[in-house]
Amino acid sequence: MASTDARDQPEQPDQRVPRDVLGLLGPTSPGPAVSGEPVVSGQPAVSGQPAVSGEPAFDGHRPPPAEVVADCVHCGFCLPSCPTYLLWGEEMDSPRGRIHLIGQGLAGEPLSPAMVEHFDRCLGCMACVSACPSGVRYDTLIERTRQQVERRHDRSPRERALRSAIFALFPYPRRLRLLRGPLRAYQASGLRRVVDRTGLLRRLAPTLATLESLTPRLTRASRPPRRVPAYGPRRAVVGMLTGCVQSAFFPGVNSATVRVLAAEGCEVVINPERQGCCGALSLHSGREEEARRFARDLVDAFAAEHLDYFVVNAAGCGSALKEYGDLLADDPAYAERAAAFAARVRDLSELLVELGPVATRHPLPVSVAYHDACHLGHAQGIRSQPRELLRAIPELELREIADPELCCGSAGVWNVLNPEPAAKLGDRKARDVLATGASLLVTANPGCLMQIAAAVPRVADTPGAAGSPGGRSVALAHTAQVLDASIRRLPVERLLS
């Protein structure tokens, strides 16, 4: 956060660089708008807070590394994969544009509101990391930059209130579970259909409307056991993250994950009474100290267990857990333990392929479109393993989605902070999913499941719109649920209902 006396200083000029700065940034032709629509105007508004005059943008605590900034040659290969560049066609809303702004900050420029605006607009999807031929670690740059922004930028009262509410709720599983009763009653009452039909909530409170539309249909959830033995010979002892949103809104995914792991010879240690948030939302939003606190607590929760692996079934959480060694590197009491913990972290699909299958797969006659969650495909590099597992199921037909590298618009809490552009990205992804003609969409992240589930009805209900399949629908499931259904010989209708 900015100091109090800094707010009294005169405002600095807008730090945005014109789109025609060709010499430094390379070609700047506008990217195509989402789904062939014109480039969207009306980007999120600048907060309006004064710039910090006389102070460089970044302090000495974990600034974005200058050597990583220097790795960027501004070639433009990242542009077609960047969701915000496709939305707005603005150079400063591309990875190389933001890297240029980071370079300005390292050179001593102040952290202006316009600079923060472009950093805030980044989804953190890491598609640019996959696309970059120079291997630029943009993930490190944006993560370190956001930590600086959260410490040093004075947000508007509205922004502070919204972010405070988000981070007082979402990283706390118990608080989320308290909402289940009222939400189930709301869904059962029929009010949800009335709200959707009138569109009044979206006009009056778009953030609340976004949260309402993302909430999945809730069913009864039982508390998970502390430990589940392996079926047959034990091959490994694995800890398992139950997660925040996953445990509150997708408990069936956790149950399926436990059954699959047990069927594959894993003893599963859950410790539901001790584990809390992994810190992913905080880490990816620049809330460094909060993320470090969550990380320490999770390491402590499993300190007494002799684990071979620690399994995660949510892409964003897995990405954060694998960063624990870096996050706590300067903590003498936790640095070694955090690095050892991170080395044991595996995504569910990653571990299952690593161990090799022992449980029999039974036929599932269904067509499946697989969606690469960004923090699984781009951040962790896990693409082939989920597909390998799905293809091994008899009678399952796997279909690929167009433009798989593009984010669906969920991106942790980005869709809550930026509901309108997130909806456009969600609609594009939903159109691409429906265009496959698959009966079932499968992915490995709760945020993606909620985002695409909210978008499919919007797209399916607009026949005749450009690129719209019109009238089609698709069921959604997590990879673990599909594997569980095959191993348990469940009817495919259980997945499609």
Average pLDDT over residues 413-429: 93
Q: Residue 36: what pLDDT?
A: 38
Cβ contact 95:125 at 8 Å:
no
Confidence at residue 177, expressed as pLDDT on a 0 to 100 scale: 80
Sign of the torsion angle spanned by Cα atoms 376, 381, 385, 388:
positive
| Residue 69 token pair | 């900034």
| Residue 385 pLDDT > 60 | yes
Kindly list the structural domains of the chain, giving each domain's residue range(s) and its CATH number in brackets, ordered by start.
5-9+28-154 (1.10.1060), 158-214 (no CATH), 227-353 (3.40.50), 361-496 (3.40.50.11810)
User: What confidence category does residue 366 fall into, taking pLDDT thresholds of 50, 70 and 90?
Assistant: very high
- Which DSSP helix (H) or strand (E) runs through 359? none
**pLDDT > 80? residue 229:** yes
**Separation of alpha carbons 494 and 422, rounded Å:** 30
Q: Is the pLDDT of residue 194 over 80?
A: no
- Mean pLDDT, residues 219-231: 84
- pLDDT band per the 50, 70, 90 thresholds, residue 452: very high
State mean pLDDT over 209-228: 75
For residue range 134-172, list pLDDT tens digits in order: 999 999 999 999 999 999 999 999 999 999 999 998 898
CB burial readout 111-125, b (16+ within 10 A) else e:
bbbbbbbbbbbbbbb
Residue with tokens 């392996």: 230
Predicted confidence at residue 48, as pLDDT, reads 35
Query: Distance between CA 168 and CA 184 in Å, rounded?
Result: 21
* Helix 138-152 vs helix 113-121: crossing angle, to nearest 10: 130
Q: What pLDDT is attached to residue 195?
A: 67
Question: Bridge partners of 174?
Answer: none
Is the pLDDT at 461 greater than 70? The verdict is: no
Has residue 335 got a pLDDT over 50? Answer: yes
Answer whether residue 446 shows pLDDT above 50: yes
Distance CA 345, CA 309 (A): 6
Residue 53 bridge partners (DSSP):
none
Residue 478 is predicted with a pLDDT of 97
- Is the pLDDT at 339 greater than 70? The verdict is yes
Q: How far apart are CA 266 and CA 228, in angstroms?
A: 9
The answer to whether 419 touches 455, Cβ cutoff 8 Å, is no
Our CA angle for 110, 116, 120, nearest 5°, is 160
- For 347, how many CA atoms within 13 A lie in the half-sphere containing its CB? 29
> To which H or E segment does residue 312 belong?
strand 309-312
What mean pLDDT do residues 421-426 have?
A: 94
The whole-number pLDDT of residue 126 equals 95
pLDDT grade, residue 185 (50/70/90)? confident
Q: Is the pLDDT of residue 103 over 70?
A: yes
Q: Summarize pLDDT for 18-62 with one digit per residue, the tens.
A: 333 323 333 333 333 443 333 333 333 333 344 445 688 999 999
Q: Mean pLDDT over all residues of the chain?
A: 85
How large is the average pLDDT for residues 441-465?
A: 85
pLDDT tier at 321, thresholds 50, 70, 90: very high
